[in-house]
Amino acid sequence: MSDPTDHDQPAQPQRRRALRIGAAGAVAVVSIRPAMAQAYGSVLTCEIPVPDPGQAGSYIDPSGKVVPAGTRGAYAPPGRPLKGEDIRRALASGGNLPGVDYERSRAYLKYVQNLRSGTTGFTCFASLQMPRR
């Protein structure tokens, strides 16, 4: 063959095969973009602020309710939003959130479980509930 950069040419030229071109203007390719793959990625990377930004600084009591800062028996909020993957793992295994002791983890996780549709972090929490293979 004419192109000297081709390495994979068969030594003997083969008989030409038929290539059916078909109707002009027909669509040859339908592409399916990976929307689901992106949604899957967001499950691993989404975060839930505790409590929601409108109540930043408030404490979380052992039942997961948001209470005024300094309330006796309640816990100061985590210093940063909780990661979806950490929450998923703690809920699935019954273990603690990373770097958080047992009682405090229970309170934060109850807060997350109490989230309702429309509240900050609910979409992330809902995505954690999707069955995973």
Residues that bind other proteins in the complex, under the rule CB under 8 A? 1-3, 5-8, 13-14, 16-25, 27-34, 37
Our CB check for other proteins shows the closer of 16 and 133 to be 16
Our CB check for other proteins shows the closer of 14 and 93 to be 14
Question: What is the helix (H) or strand (E) element at residue 112, kind and residue range?
Answer: helix 102-113
Our CB check for other proteins shows the closer of 21 and 80 to be 21
Kindly state the DSSP code that residue 56 receives in the 8-state scheme: T
Q: Nearest approach, Cβ of 7 to other proteins (angstroms)?
A: 7
Q: Nearest approach, Cβ of 128 to other proteins (angstroms)?
A: 23
Q: Using CB atoms within 10 A of its CB, is residue 109 exposed (0-12), middle (13-18) or buried (19+)?
A: buried
Nearest in space to 124 (alpha carbons), one of 48, 54, 55: 48
